[in-house]
């Protein structure tokens, strides 16, 4: 069996003000650094054998404390990046409602998963590359005793969980991942998988101002 510990990156300043990030490489905030350390401390009690991360800085920064506790390096995978939001990156919801009224309504209100932001990606495109990332990890860590940390993002991370659930893409709209949260996905090969922990933030309970 391969255990995958899936973590979302810690908070960034753009998370705090609800600004669209996508592929824009925003570093962790001070709170996010603290969250990453708390996540690393919790994962220090787990026998992690490999660490993978989105190649964006906020994910790599989040993965590093856990990797260091196990004497491991972080392997960056571009496929684990957040959904690319193209021209929307850097904008707030208020700005999107004002400047992209029709497209925002299609994306946010109608929940059209094929809605394409200019210079961005659709959710099916994200699903395709997340499936490739999972296959890479399972190929290189087939078990029986592999425990792999994967650090990614809120949107694409939910799609990654769908692979374990073998659920249809619209199910991602029913999932939520907090900053620095931890989930666990168990795989007996690609076809037999379980979600045994989802969006757990108990390791952040002691942090002042933690938004849980």
Tell me the residue length of the chain: 212
Say if residues 128 and 29 touch (Cβ distance below 8 Å).
Answer: no
State yes or no: is 82 an active-site residue.
yes
Say if residues 151 and 7 touch (Cβ distance below 8 Å).
Answer: yes
pLDDT of residue 191: 82
Instruction: Give per-residue pLDDT as tens, 94-131.
Output: 999 999 999 999 999 999 999 999 999 999 999 999 99
Pairing of strands 2-8, 146-152: parallel
What global pTM score does this model have?
Answer: 0.95
Q: DSSP assignment of 100-150, as one string? A: SHHHHIIIIIS--TT---TT---HHHHHHHHHHHHHHHHHH---SSEEEEE
Beta bridge partners of 3: 147, 186
209, pLDDT greater than 80 = no
Instruction: Give per-residue pLDDT as tens, 44-58.
Output: 999 999 999 999 999
Query: Is-cis flag, bond preceding 144, omega within 30?
Result: yes
pLDDT of residue 207: 85
CA distance 59 to 67: 12
84, pLDDT greater than 70 = yes
Lowest mean pLDDT among 99-108, 152-161, 200-209: 200-209
Residue in the structure block whose two tokens are 């991602």 = 172
Which residues have CB under 8 Å from 139's CB, separation 6+? none
State yes or no: is 206 an active-site residue.
no
Say if residues 199 and 181 touch (Cβ distance below 8 Å).
Answer: yes
6, pLDDT greater than 80 = yes
CA atoms within 13 A on the CB side of 177: 28
Q: Which of 11, 61, 82, 121 is catalytic?
A: 82
Q: Which domains does the chain have, with CATH numbers?
A: 2-83+121-204 (3.40.50.1240)
């Amino acid at each position: 069996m391969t255990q995958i510990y899936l973590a979302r990156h810690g908070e960034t300043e753009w998370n705090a003000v609800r600004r669209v990030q996508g592929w824009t490489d925003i570093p962790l905030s001070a709170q996010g650094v603290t969250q990453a350390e708390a996540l690393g401390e919790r994962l220090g009690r787990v026998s992690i054998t490999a660490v993978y991360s989105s190649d964006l800085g906020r994910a790599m920064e989040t993965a590093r404390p856990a990797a260091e506790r196990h004497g491991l390096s972080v392997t960056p995978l571009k496929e684990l990046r957040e959904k690319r939001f193209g021209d929307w990156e850097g904008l707030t919801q208020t700005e999107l409602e004002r400047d992209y009224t029709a497209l925002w309504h299609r994306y946010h209100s109608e929940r059209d998963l094929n809605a394409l932001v200019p210079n961005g990606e659709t959710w099916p495109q994200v699903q395709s590359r997340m499936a490739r990332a999972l296959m890479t990890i399972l190929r290189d860590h087939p078990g029986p005793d592999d425990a792999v940390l994967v650090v990614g993002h809120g949107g694409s991370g939910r799609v990654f969980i769908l692979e374990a659930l073998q659920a249809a893409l619209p199910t991602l709209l029913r999932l939520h991942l907090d900053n620095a949260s931890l989930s666990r996905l168990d795989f007996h090969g690609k076809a037999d998988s379980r979600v045994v922990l989802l969006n757990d933030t108990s390791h952040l309970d002691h942090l002042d101002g933690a938004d849980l």
